[in-house]
Structure 1
Amino acid sequence: MPRLTEAIKHLIIINVILFVAPQLLKMDLTNVLALHFPQNEHFGVWQYITHMFMHGSFPHILFNMYALWAFGTPLEQIWGRNKFLFFYFSAGLGAGLIYTFVNYYQFNGFYEILTQNGLSVTDINSILDTGIYTNYADIITLSKQELTEFYNLYHTPAVGASGAVYGILVAFGMYYKDAKLALIFFPIPIAAKYFIPLILLGDLFFGVTKYSIGNIAHFAHIGGAIIGFIIALYWRKNQFKRWK
């Protein structure tokens, strides 16, 4: 079992504190620290960083912290603490930005259709505030599912270190491509060079279709993976020295 490296140890401690403390103190930090839609009243630029330290459930934080330790430890040992932290936060920030861009694109698509249906800005804001659209049901061409998605894009915040972890997962696969990995529901070990692309293809499939199970930010995963790949590839080609 690999030892707990310095950066990963502190990241896990901060994540655990921000998961446990609000529950013990009966505080809800979601509106302040989770990543909200840019037009939402609770949005703050700092949330692109803070959302990485928020988790919605015990299985959520357990999986992310385990993956951070399992795949991040060998990378920190190669890169050093500072370089690893730069990579981690870059992947997490990139994940948040790409996630926002995709959500904004989808939101504007729904918004444009509603304006074409004849709804005013006040009417649309009323739907976003209340979730009620029955007064306009006769003229709206969006389905109930699409209206629900429109409402959720505006109101549902993103939490979790998954974007940063996906960046780490991709970098791990680039450095240890023959390492055998497996999932609980698919316990057959597969080499990382095949396993990781399969996971990413799954995220892409669930992100662009309606078959996703649960409220998962698939495009945040993909965003973190893209940024992680770009940085790790650049470092490998340029042979950056270890940052102390």
Structure 2
Amino acid sequence: MASIIRKPFKYSFKNATIIIVLINAGIFLLEKMFPQIQYFCSLNVYTCLAYKMFWQPFTYMFIHGSFTHVLFNMIGLFCFGLAVEKTVGTKEFVLMYLLIGFAGGIFSLVVYYFFGLYRVFLMGASGAVYGILLAYAILFPRSTIFIWGLIPVPAPVLVIAYALIEFFEQFFSFRDGVAHSVHLAGFAFAWLYFVVRFGINPLKVWKNAYR
């Protein structure tokens, strides 16, 4: 079973990151022309379960509520996704991105169901993008990211800082309109992806990188 799960894809690079960015941009333009797309494709407990819109845990990651929402998500995907895709190959990258986003959608559906958050419409690629950020920090543990172009922060430190911020915000700003749970889920499922798919422990990678 493990050999099947960890069987590598034949390496190829097809610029899937850019294609995903363009798909998200195109769908956002369609949302402006046909706003009802958000109702059908964002993730809502009631519409998903009562009206059997079972595609929502997948499609929500391609729906965005505003221009800044899609802009910053796609900037993050472009900045980190290209490097990850070039390293692991396009097929692996697409599987990673979509699986993390879908798992985050299922997780959010369960959380919202048990907490009775039936009015929440979850949308955005941020959960999958956070997962790609973690992947970047694992693949390039000694990489330095400049916050606002000024403050140098090692990639693993940035990931840990973001995770702590999201954890804090989840419990102290639960109704601020930001899906902190799906951000944390993105980190968690990306972590599991590397453990299960590659047999890589991110903590060991970071520890070895900074010995």
Among 182, 185, 190, the residue aligned to 1:223: 185
**How far off is 1:236 after superposition?**
3.7
Unaligned runs of 5+ in 1: 108-152, 239-244
Please list the CA deviations of residues 152-177 of structure 1 after superposition, one character each: whole Å capped at 9, or x if unmatched: x2112000001110110111111111
User: In structure 1, what residue type is equivalent to 2:80?
Assistant: F
Unpaired stretches in structure 2, ≥5 consecutive residues:
1-12, 201-211
SS at match of 2:45: coil
Match status 1:95 vs 2:58: no
Letter in 1 for 2:125: A
1:111-159 Cα offsets, whole Å, 9 max, x none, are xxxxxxxxxxxxxxxxxxxxxxxxxxxxxxxxxxxxxxxxxx2112000
User: Which protein shows a greater Rg?
Assistant: 1
Report the TM-score when normalising by structure 1.
0.70
Q: Percent identity?
A: 28
The AA in structure 1 aligned to 2:28 is F
Alignment of 1:57-96 (within 5 A): 57-96=66-105
The count of corresponding residues between Structure 1 and Structure 2 is 187
| 2:166 aligned with 1:203 | yes
Find the aligned partners of 2:52 and 2:171 in 1 and give their Cα distance: 25
Q: Deviations over 1:200-222 (max 9, x none)?
A: 1110111112376x410001011
Q: Distance in 1 between matches of 2:181 and 2:174?
A: 14
Which of the pair has the greater relative contact order for Cα pairs under 8 Å at 6+ separation?
Answer: 1
CA contact (8 A) 1:91 1:224 kept: yes
Contact 2:127 2:183 in 1 (8 A): yes
Give the structure 2 partner of residue 15 of structure 1.
24
TM-score by length of 2: 0.81
Residue 56 of structure 2: aligned partner: 47
CA drift of 1:42 comes to 5.4
Q: Secondary structure at the match of 1:181?
A: strand
**CA-atom RMSD, angstroms?**
2.2
Report what 1:181 is aligned to: 145
Residue of structure 1 equivalent to 2:127: 163
Find the aligned partners of 1:20 and 1:99 in 2 and give their Cα distance. Answer: 26
